[in-house]
Structure 1
Amino acid sequence: MIRSPFQARIIKSIRATLLLGWLKSHFDVPIIFLIRHPCAVVSSQARLGWFMNAQEFLEDSLLVEDYLQPYVNQIAHLQGAWAHRAAFWAIENLVGMQLAQQFDIPIVFYEHLVCSPQETLQSLLHQLGYTWHEHRWRHVQHRLLRPASPKHLAAWRNTLDPQTIQTILEVVHTLGVSVYDEDPLPSPRMLH
């Protein structure tokens, strides 16, 4: 039998957002909801050639009934790849944030992990009921291939034109998610 030196695992699932409640009620594991700026996500999706059809969400009657009813008209009339990608992001994060609050799942902002990793991880571990150990932080720092840089948080500004940024943010705000704006960091006024 091979013993692992690690007592925990991290599983990243970018498409499990709508399953947060189910995951929380069926698995006795700590879950976090990680959110990143929509322009960064949408820019990455475009670079990878992903096309998202946000109107497919309207086929799920329970999802519409529980979360999307106020936005059905806006979703049904989306036009263009940028708008669909932005709406896809907005829907997943609107539902994800509501489920996280409902099931007491910590919400972590990617940008906070980059700008203040130690403080963000300390807070997260506290929320999850774990004790912070300084020696583990040093171990994590040692294992990082390259330290994250706050400079890269705004890299999407170099790949998206101002009109595309405006389109993304308008769609996201119209669909009820207003934690981000033109600033690469989440808006402090919307975090409480």
Structure 2
Amino acid sequence: MFSEGFGSKAKNRVLGKLFIDRNRDYRNTVFLAGAGRGGTTWVSEIINYDGRYRYIFEPFHPGRVKSVRSFRHKQYIRPDNRDGKYLKPAWNILSGKVRSSWTDRFYKGRFVYDRRLVKDIRMNLALYWLRRNFPEMPIILLLRHPCAVAASRMKLGWRGSLAQTYLSQRELVEDFLAPFEREIQAAEERDFDRYIFGWCIENYVPLRQFSEGELLVVFYENFCERPREEVARTFRYLGRGFDDSVFAAMREPSPLARKESAVLLGERPADGWKRHVTPEQTKRAVEILALFGLDGVYSEDPMPDPGAVKALLRAK
């Protein structure tokens, strides 16, 4: 059907317009949230190892998807907000109506889908709003050590402004960030601090809003070091089984893995960041985490403490 010179991305753009998404019930959608450079693409490949889900890639990107241009880059939305400029595009996405070369860039080749997996790195601050408006949709929040995320972003030279992204959102400041405003402003010119503050903000908000049982929090490091346990926990939450071929999928780097990624370099993905982050930077990261009460979740140890997350979710 396609010539040898017809690239896989071009083929996906063509075929991605031909499939049928025949079940518009949002309850047949799984939502995976997490930080950019936090492993969400890899974990989405694990969840969709058998290709049963239509994979919708980062549909809340306002620079790529026309219907969400009313959203900010990291939009905070109060849970009781019913504004149609947010609700309508969210409904279209979660019911599978959205289609584009961006959202369907990792099309799996099936022609009929009944279920969807939406993966997005821009909705942590609106995650509880999604929960309120789509209460029966399974939501998974992926956490990865903030030093690992910061190291990856530093390699790529990611910029961005804490003031522009977060402090300019009045409702976000009123509801969550006012106690930290001075420290956030002071971190603006230090790349490493800025990355850690961004991680804290984007995870502090949902961990403050959600209660236990309203979402599943999973850990990148546990997928790396305790794969069977974390995979079983994830699929149990989704109410489905899995077979051992999922572990073969886990050994593959994500489609967005860079050539310097720990997986491709043969490093241990859970603690490979320690080669790129100084002990002083690690201590500084823990100080920032402590401001938000998140130093129990991650510390100088590369492994997380899931019990600390449970305690945060139970403290409502």
The TM-score range, normalised by the shorter chain, is 0.7 to 0.9
CA distance in 2, matches of 1:125, 1:46: 33
**Quick one: which of 148, 158, 182 aligns to 1:50?**
158
1:187 corresponds to:
305
CA distance in 2, matches of 1:29, 1:171: 32
More strand by share: 2
Query: Does the alignment pair 1:171 with 2:171?
Result: no
Identity of aligned residues (%): 30
In structure 1, give the amino acid aligned to 2:155.
Answer: R
1:107 corresponds to:
217
Assess, with a 3 A threshold, how the Cα gap between structure 1 residues 118 and 9 changes in structure 2: closer, same or farther.
Answer: farther
Task: Indicate conservation of the 8 Å contact 2:128/2:206, yes or no.
Answer: no
CA distance in 1, matches of 2:214, 2:267: 28
- How much does 1:162 deviate? 1.7
CA distance in 2, matches of 1:94, 1:164: 20
Task: Indicate conservation of the 8 Å contact 1:100/1:107, yes or no.
Answer: no
CA distance in 1, matches of 2:274, 2:243: 32
- How much does 1:98 deviate? 2.2
Q: Which has the larger radius of gyration?
A: 2
CA distance in 2, matches of 1:91, 1:189: 20
User: Which runs of structure 2 are paired with 1:26-175 in the superposition (5 Å)?
Assistant: 26-27=133-134, 28-56=136-164, 57-78=166-187, 79-101=189-211, 104-128=214-238, 130-131=239-240, 133=241, 136-146=242-252, 151-175=268-292
Larger relative contact order (CA 8 Å, sep ≥ 6): 1
Unaligned runs of 5+ in 1: none
Task: Indicate conservation of the 8 Å contact 1:17/1:96, yes or no.
Answer: yes
Number of equivalenced pairs: 188
Question: What is the DSSP-based 3-state SS (H/G/I as helix, E as strand, rest coil) of the residue aligned with 1:181?
Answer: coil
1:15 corresponds to:
122
In structure 2, give the amino acid aligned to 1:137.
Answer: D
Greater CA drift, 158-167 or 176-185: 158-167
Task: Provide runs of 4+ in structure 1 moved above 6 Å.
Answer: 147-150
- How much does 1:86 deviate? 0.8
CA distance in 2, matches of 1:18, 1:3: 31
CA distance in 2, matches of 1:189, 1:24: 23
In the superposition, the TM-score normalised over structure 2's length comes to 0.53
Task: Indicate conservation of the 8 Å contact 1:111/1:185, yes or no.
Answer: yes
